Chain A
């Protein structure tokens, strides 16, 4: 097998192949054109990389989580916490005063009972006033 024979073989096989390509029927040609169009439509439909939501969604999620974490950390200061505790303690003291039965503060519940009796008396007096 000489080099010349090899070249002749290569040329013949190439010519046969190209003849077979030229002889492709219309059905195949048409389907290849359709395939090409579909591929090119896919290429045209590509979005710019910076508008790809797949790229930004994880980054946006991480950023949102970080902002929430930082706001929770900074937005609940120690002073705010202490003020809330002070308010709660003051309310507790008020309740304690009302319910208290110490000598100095009097009987708060009796005082409230007296007021109800007074308003009942005043109401009756007002209704029978002109006749008396």
Chain B
């Protein structure tokens, strides 16, 4: 009887995968949901720091989520975070490489014609933010903008080490796993990143 139950469950997953109500699939799906919900906003901001463009950052985060759930969902949950960030960083680098190639190609092509209607497509984008701004909040936003600019100026490995260790709060071993390098390399990258950032931002920052 138990054999039939197992087989029935397997066929239920085959025939109608979405509502699988019990068993291992549901268990790791719940865990995955919790993990992704906890991590997604920070991951997005890190991708945005590296790529600047929010839509590109969203695409990269979505790809990382899909790859994690498709290929590594059955791995122990403790491995998810370094795996996720490794996938995310690979996605960021792929996109940056594509941008570089596109930029090189575009320099040889005539520039796009100005589209006068383009500005009128989304009128809200051009409306000034009329909400009152608290000076402290504004200063914080400016400080973050400067930090982001400095992070973008760092070599990719240093930026990665700094964000994973400092923003994501990973320990050295976890960061090494995410970056696919030794713990010693993580310490070196991180130390150089802190040094370079402090030099760029100055003492008053």
Contact = CB atoms under 8 A, between A and B. Distances in A.
Interface of A: 1, 5-6, 9-10, 12-14, 16-21, 24, 28-29, 31-32, 35-36, 38-48, 50-51
Given A16-B144, A17-B45, A29-B41, A45 B18 contact: yes
Contacts of A1: 195, 198
Interface majority SS (helix, strand, loop, mixed), chain A: helix
Given A16-B144, A20-B45, A48 B62 contact: no
Given A19-B140, A32-B41, A47-B17, A39 B25 contact: no
Interface stretch (B32-40, B101-109, B112-120, B174-182): B32-40
A47 B197 CA distance: 47
Interface majority SS (helix, strand, loop, mixed), chain B: helix
Interface residues of B, number: 42
Given A40-B33, A47-B14, A28 B54 contact: yes
User: Nearest 5 pairs between A and B by C-beta?
Assistant: A39-B65, A35-B62, A43-B69, A45-B17, A39-B69
B14 to A, nearest CB: 5
A36 B147 contact: no
B10 A21 contact: no
Nearest to B70: A42
Contact of A40 (B11, B36, B61): B36
Of A21, A36, A42, A43, most buried by chain B (CB within 10 Å of CB) is: A43
